[in-house]
Amino acid sequence: MASENEKIEDLHTGQKLIQSEDLFKYGIDAVILSDFASKEIRNKNAVLDLGCGNGIISILLAETSRAEKITGLEIQAEAAQLARRNVELNSIEQKVSIVQGDIKEIKKLFEPCVFDSVVTNPPYMKESKGKKCANEKVAIARSEIKCNLEDVIRASSFCLKSNGNFFMINRPDRLSETFVLLQKYNLGAKTLRLVCPQDKSEPTMFMIHAKKDFFPELKVMKNLVISNEDKTYTDEVMEIYGNTSKGANLPYQETTCR
């Protein structure tokens, strides 16, 4: 059940999600990252959702990917508890589990080289930049207060099996730093996709797929364009949403302030 400051939303996959006004709410970045990753996740794969928040990516992947086991890691106790409730709400406890813990303490939480894929939607903004948020719980999700990009990529490399997959979404101003860190932690970039609000807009996000112990052979995909000029979803985004009524609204602006 949802409390007074919570709302149960219907997801485009037919699942449900409790969202709290006190915590960070998911945006379209979680949806497109889940779609981006699900295409590469194989049968019987073990997946780690690094910084899972309310569990949105884990829940979507439970429905859309072939993963056998998905583990969400979240540092904030309230968000981790909400993620567990969302897992229970969708009756996927046998497939998805939530761990509360610090990415920087990854070696105390998991054995090395145990996951086939890591999916992460990390804080986009360096702590010294971006909008200041009065809500500390939301600020932790948006800004590098509890961990930074290097912490995320280091932890991902530690957890991944050789040839394992790393999927991340972030802002374009973090792209050069991302390439440096991927190389530092033995993750070879395989696929890059830029995300644009509209066809003639500059990219506001990128999604990257890298593999552990993989020689970089980067393929740049065509840009993912979110909306048409009339603020409706493009056909590709509608396809991601399964051509459901979710396409009638455009939550994209929620992601640009992160």
Look at residue 2 and tell me whether its pLDDT is greater than 80. Answer: no
Domain with 192 in it: 6-256
Q: CA distances (Å), 34 to each of 22, 128, 167, 177, 187, in order?
A: 24, 29, 9, 23, 20
Give 194-222 pLDDT, tens digit per residue: 999 999 999 999 999 999 999 888 999 99
Which residues sit opposite 48 in a β-bridge? 71, 118
- Does some domain include residue 221? yes
Q: Over the chain, what is the mean pLDDT?
A: 88
Q: Give DSSP secondary structure letters for 204-251.
A: -EEEEEEEET-----EEPPPEE-B-TTSPBPHHHHHHTTT-GGGGS-T
Helix, strand or coil, per DSSP, at residue 118: strand
Report which residue type is found at 76.
Answer: Q
The crossing angle, in degrees rounded to 10, of helices 56-64 and 28-38 is 40
Q: Which of 168, 250, 171, 253 is nearest to 204 (CA)?
A: 171
Report pLDDT for 1: 60
pLDDT (mean) for 111-133: 82
- Does some domain include residue 21? yes
> Phi and psi at residue 167, in whole multiples of 5°?
-125, 130
- Does some domain include residue 229? yes
Give 90-112 pLDDT, tens digit per residue: 999 999 999 999 999 999 999 99
- Does some domain include residue 167? yes
Give 49-81 pLDDT, tens digit per residue: 999 999 999 999 999 999 999 999 999 999 999
Q: Which two tokens stand for residue 84?
A: 């567990």
Our count of domains for the chain comes to 1
Residue indicated by tokens 């509360």: 100
Report pLDDT for 140: 55
In contact, 223 and 203? CB cutoff 8 Å:
yes
Q: Which CATH number belongs to the domain containing residue 202 in this structure?
A: 3.40.50.150
- Does some domain include residue 201? yes
Report pLDDT for 135: 63
In contact, 51 and 100? CB cutoff 8 Å:
no
Q: How many CA atoms lie within 13 A of 148 on its CB side?
A: 9
pLDDT band at 123 (very low <50, low <70, confident <90, very high): confident
Q: Which of 177, 198, 86, 184 is nearest to 129 (CA)?
A: 177
Whole-structure pTM value? 0.91
- Does some domain include residue 1? no
- Does some domain include residue 231? yes
Give 4-40 pLDDT, tens digit per residue: 788 999 999 999 999 988 787 889 999 999 999 999 9
- Does some domain include residue 247? yes
Q: CA distances (Å), 240 to each of 56, 57, 60, 220, 223, in order?
A: 15, 14, 12, 20, 15
Out of 69-73, 191-195, 225-229, pick the least confident. 225-229
